[in-house]
Chains A and B, each alone.
Chain A
Amino acid sequence: MSHRGAASGAPVREFHMEIFGVPSALLGSQLLVGLINGSFYAILSLGLAIIFGLLNIINFAHGAQYMMGAFVAWIALTKFGINYWVSLLLAPIVVGALGVVIERTMLRRLYKLDHLYGLLLTFGLALIFEGIFRDQYGISGQSYEVPELLQGGVNLGFMFLPIYRAWIVVAALTVCFGTWFMIEKTKLGSYLRAGTENPQMVQALGINVPLLITFTYGYGVALAAFAGVLAAPVYQVNPLMGSNLIIVVFAVVVIGGMGSIMGSIVTGLGLGLIEGLTRVFYPEGSAVVVFIIMVIVLLVRPAGLFGKT
């Protein structure tokens, strides 16, 4: 068995425990990578789901907005010396504000048309964003240092846990459950859910639905940018970092169905873990395992695991 886990910088040889003939450190570190990817899937598919719920469009620019979140953090640090913690708040606000502008000036004109036009518009926007950053920064990645507070790691006895990686999972899950709480348990959330069901009726009750829509798009985009900042220290900050990720997230959304907020979170995490396991037992299959699961789900339960038929 090859020691792929060594790439993550963990001192693999210290641990001798084996599970199913796989060194526990390798299994542990790949599961952790899976959990991290799963956190990104969860936060991105959650954003897609709430945008889809109210706007009925699929935000193809989601991957590009995730990438821009990472770049805002990187530029803030290298050009202005703004640290990670400020960026964690700043990047979602900047990119979310750009999202608000996009919604007000462009997406708004498309609501009366076929929903596919929203997909096409955001696809064009994704090309523009990606192209601009590619022209400015090339396709080689920029590195972003792990903030001082989260450097180092803990020896768990069966594996080595880098603190920053644990932080990603905690932060992503906190934001996911915070969003779930806001939508399911607060007054604003109840407007949102009502708007998803019947926007005309909600408008008639005196609630400003267009404003609600703008806010929702901005919030969904801000979630993507937040994920981008979280990703900056572990992945290279790269103009193309979002485009391949977003297609996997689309598959995640097809598997889970976009009807349920909790469903998006659970599906995202679960698929990340499955992907991590595949990387241990059959590395060649890890790039396609999510797509294969999508095919199986389509055959068995076409509406998706949490979808309404």
Chain B
Amino acid sequence: MNNNSMFARATPYLFGALFVIGLIAPFAVYPTFLMKILCFGLFACAFNLLLGFAGLLSFGHAAFLGTAGYVCGMLVRDVGVTPEIGIIGGTVVAGLLGWVFGVLAIRRTGIYFAMITLALSQMVYFLVLQVKATGGEDGLQGVPRGNLFGIIDLSNNISMYYLVFAVFCIGFFIIYRTINSPFGEILKAIRENEPRAISLGYDVAKFKLLAFIISASLAGMAGATKTLVFQLASLTDVHWHMSGEVVLMTLLGGLGTVLGPLIGAATVVSLQTQLADSVGSWVTVIMGVIFVLCVLLFRRGIVGELQALIQRAGIR
């Protein structure tokens, strides 16, 4: 109990420090790399809301990331709207898709839930592959970044970075508020003991569905933003490998911790960037090995292990 309050007291300082680091980071590190981390970080945080706090393993989150990316790309490139409208459009469509996935998947629990979301996202993958407007195998190329609100030119990497940073902060704030609300407490109750939550009179299906929609929308927000950053929406974003990657990021960083997914995303993205040059196709193997090690030896993840370490130090 004592340690929890210690964490609670330290939290505002920690967030403050991270916020300041986020503000000055693009002057020290290559901005595109940072933007990639923030996009995947938001994606993983959104995923963690579902797995870490509601105990629902979705193996189809790539569908939301990818679909929102395509929607945003088409809106900005083919319809010609401003980037913020593109991001909002992508987020809304991902939320709607999340509603459809959620309604179907929460009819089953546990392993079936994971398999259903995986199968549905594979269906989305095939649709994206076949529909002409998405560019098929080539993906959606040459998406302009455009002018934010019609005023600020985003082709400048620094201004683009601050947009991505703002999007991340908004998404992160929504997740943080959700976790620390009565709604979030009920989600945790469902995760810990679903039959008891039902017997206490909660409409468990409704809570799960809402959590699923929030998670899908925010994953979509990350995907739409990512399309603007790289000016590209591609099939890899809807592929099931991406759904697996977000599980890895979350698990590696720390399941059910607030900052874990961001740390996990940063680690995985850095590793992939570093390894792509030196080992080529072994990246998949190394990702697999990390996955296996995480599951066997390291289930609390980086942030979870750190918290446990601090707690042990505090007791002594």
Interface residue? B127 (CB, 8 A): yes
Residues on the B chain within 8 Å of A287, using CB: 126, 130
Greatest chain A CB density within 10 A among B108, B283, B292 is at B292
Q: How far is the CA of A257 from the CA of B263 in the complex (A)?
A: 38
Among A125, A129, A130, A291, the residue within 8 A (CB) of B119 is: A291
Interface residue? B120 (CB, 8 A): yes
Interface residue? B247 (CB, 8 A): yes
Interface residue? A131 (CB, 8 A): yes
- Provide the B258-287 mask, 1 if CB < 8 A to any CB of A, else 0: 000000000000000000000011111101
Interface residue? A77 (CB, 8 A): no
Residues on the A chain within 8 Å of B108, using CB: 254, 298, 302
Interface residue? A10 (CB, 8 A): no
A250 touches B57 (CB 8 A): no
Interface residue? B289 (CB, 8 A): yes
> Which residue of chain B lies nearest to A292 when distances are taken between CB atoms in the complex?
B123
Q: How far is the CA of A254 from the CA of B110 in the complex (A)?
A: 12
Greatest chain A CB density within 10 A among B114, B288, B289, B299 is at B288
Q: How far is the CA of A295 from the CA of B192 in the complex (A)?
A: 28
Main secondary structure of the interface of A (DSSP, over half): helix
Interface residues on A, range: 35 or more
State how many angstroms separate the Cβ of B243 from the closest Cβ of chain A.
10
Q: How far is the CA of A109 from the CA of B123 in the complex (A)?
A: 34
Among A124, A134, A135, the residue within 8 A (CB) of B291 is: A124
A124 touches B292 (CB 8 A): yes
Which of the candidate stretches A113-121, A167-175, A213-221, A228-236 sits at the interface with the other chain? A113-121
> Which residue of chain A lies nearest to B284 when distances are taken between CB atoms in the complex?
A131
Among B111, B126, B281, the residue within 8 A (CB) of A288 is: B126
Interface residue? A46 (CB, 8 A): no
Q: How far is the CA of A120 from the CA of B293 in the complex (A)?
A: 11
A120 touches B104 (CB 8 A): no
Q: How far is the CA of A299 from the CA of B57 in the complex (A)?
A: 20
Residues on the B chain within 8 Å of A126, using CB: 288
A127 touches B284 (CB 8 A): yes
Interface residue? B116 (CB, 8 A): yes
Q: How far is the CA of A115 from the CA of B55 in the complex (A)?
A: 12
A132 touches B115 (CB 8 A): no
Given that A106-B292, A116-B114, A127-B244 are known contacts, is A291 also in contact with B287, CB under 8 Å in the complex?
Answer: no
Residues on the B chain within 8 Å of A121, using CB: 291-292, 295-296
Interface residue? A253 (CB, 8 A): yes
> Which residue of chain A lies nearest to B248 when distances are taken between CB atoms in the complex?
A124
Mark out the residues of chain A between 286 and 304 whose CB falls within 8 Å of any chain B CB in the assembled complex: 287-288, 291-292, 294-295, 298-299, 302
Mark out the residues of chain A between 95 and 139 whose CB falls within 8 Å of any chain B CB in the assembled complex: 106, 109-110, 113, 115-117, 119-121, 123-132, 134-135
A135 touches B118 (CB 8 A): no
- Provide the A253-274 mask, 1 if CB < 8 A to any CB of B, else 0: 1100000000000000000000
A120 touches B118 (CB 8 A): no
Q: How far is the CA of A294 from the CA of B118 in the complex (A)?
A: 12
Q: How far is the CA of A67 from the CA of B107 in the complex (A)?
A: 32
Closest CB pairs A-B (n = 7): A124-B291, A127-B288, A131-B284, A128-B288, A131-B285, A302-B107, A291-B123
- Given A116-B111, A243-B240, 4 extra CB contacts under 8 A: A119-B57, A124-B288, A124-B295, A254-B119
Q: Interface on A for B, CB 8 Å cutoff?
A: 52, 57-58, 106, 109-110, 113, 115-117, 119-121, 123-132, 134-135, 243-244, 247-248, 250-251, 253-254, 284, 287-288, 291-292, 294-295, 298-299, 302
15 A-B residue pairings within 8 Å (CB atoms)? A58-B114, A123-B244, A124-B290, A124-B294, A125-B288, A127-B291, A128-B284, A128-B289, A130-B284, A131-B288, A243-B240, A247-B118, A250-B119, A251-B115, A291-B119
